[in-house]
Chain A
Amino acid sequence: MTKWLEEHTPKLVLAPSFIAILVFVYGFIAWTAWVSLTRSRLLPRYEIEGFIQYERLFDSPRWDTALNNLFIFGLLFILIAMFLGLILAILLDQNIRTEGAIRTIYLYPMALSMIVTGTAWKWILNPGLGIEAMVRSWGFEDFTFDWLVNPEMAIYTVVLAAIWQSSGFVMALFLAGLRSVDGEIIKAAQVDGIPTWRVYTAIIIPSMAPIFLSAFIVLSHLAIKSFDLVIALTGGGPGYATDLPATYMYAMAFSRGDIGQAASSAMIMMMVVFAIVVPYLYSELRSKDG
Chain B
Amino acid sequence: MADLSMTQGVRQSQASKIALRWLLYSLLVLFALFYLMPLFVMITTSLKSLDEIRTGDLIALPREVTFDAWSTAWSSACTGIQCEGVRPYFWNSVLIAIPAVAISTLLGAMNGYVVAQWRFRGANIIFSLMLFGCFIPFQVVLLPMARTLGIMGIAGTIPGLIFVHVIYGLGFTTLFFRNFYVSIPAELTKAAKVDGAGFFRIFWSIFLPLSLPIIVVTVIWQFTQIWNDFLFGVSFSQAGTQPVTVALNNIVNSTTGVKEYNVDMAAAIIAALPTLFVYVVAGKYFIRGLTAGSVKG
Q: Do A and B come from one complex?
A: yes
Contacts of A46 in B (CB 8 A): none
Indicate if B22 sits at the interface (CB-CB under 8 A).
no
Once the chains are docked, how many angstroms separate the CA of A51 from the CA of B291?
Answer: 40
A116-B248, A130-B58, A289-B124 known; A104+B132 contact, CB < 8 A: no
Interface digits, A104-142 against B, CB 8 Å rule (1 contact, 0 not)?
Answer: 111111111111110111111000011101100100000
Partner of B58, one of A104, A133, A214, A269: A133
Once the chains are docked, how many angstroms separate the CA of A187 from the CA of B54?
Answer: 57
B295 A214 Cβ-Cβ under 8 A: yes
B141 A115 Cβ-Cβ under 8 A: no
A92 B28 Cβ-Cβ under 8 A: yes
Partner of B34, one of A121, A164, A263: A164
A9-B199, A270-B137 known; A114+B230 contact, CB < 8 A: yes
A277 to chain B, nearest CB (A): 5
Nearest B residue (CB) for A135: B58
A120 B268 Cβ-Cβ under 8 A: yes
Chain A interface residue count, Cβ-Cβ cutoff 8 angstroms: 97
A202 to chain B, nearest CB (A): 20
A253 B143 Cβ-Cβ under 8 A: yes
Indicate if A189 sits at the interface (CB-CB under 8 A).
no
B63 to chain A, nearest CB (A): 15
Contacts of A281 in B (CB 8 A): 128, 131-132, 135
Indicate if A10 sits at the interface (CB-CB under 8 A).
yes
Interface digits, B261-296 against A, CB 8 Å rule (1 contact, 0 not)?
Answer: 100110111011001101110010011001101111
Contacts of B146 in A (CB 8 A): 253
Chain B interface residue count, Cβ-Cβ cutoff 8 angstroms: 94
Which candidate, B1-9, B108-116, B153-161, B205-213, is the interface stretch facing chain A? B108-116
Once the chains are docked, how many angstroms separate the CA of A129 from the CA of B37?
Answer: 16
Of listed A122, A129, A215, residue having the most chain B CB within 10 A: A129
Once the chains are docked, how many angstroms separate the CA of A3 from the CA of B38?
Answer: 62
Indicate if A94 sits at the interface (CB-CB under 8 A).
yes
Contacts of A1 in B (CB 8 A): none
Indicate if B95 sits at the interface (CB-CB under 8 A).
no
A17 B107 Cβ-Cβ under 8 A: yes
Partner of B268, one of A119, A176, A210: A119
Indicate if B85 sits at the interface (CB-CB under 8 A).
no
Contacts of A109 in B (CB 8 A): 35, 38
Once the chains are docked, how many angstroms separate the CA of A106 from the CA of B234?
Answer: 29
B286 A111 Cβ-Cβ under 8 A: yes
Name B186-223 residues within 8 Å CB distance of A.
Answer: 198-200
Contacts of A285 in B (CB 8 A): 124, 128, 131
Can you give 13 contacting A-B residue pairs, CB < 8 Å?
A11-B114, A17-B107, A17-B111, A29-B136, A44-B143, A88-B31, A96-B25, A116-B245, A119-B248, A227-B230, A232-B252, A277-B135, A281-B131
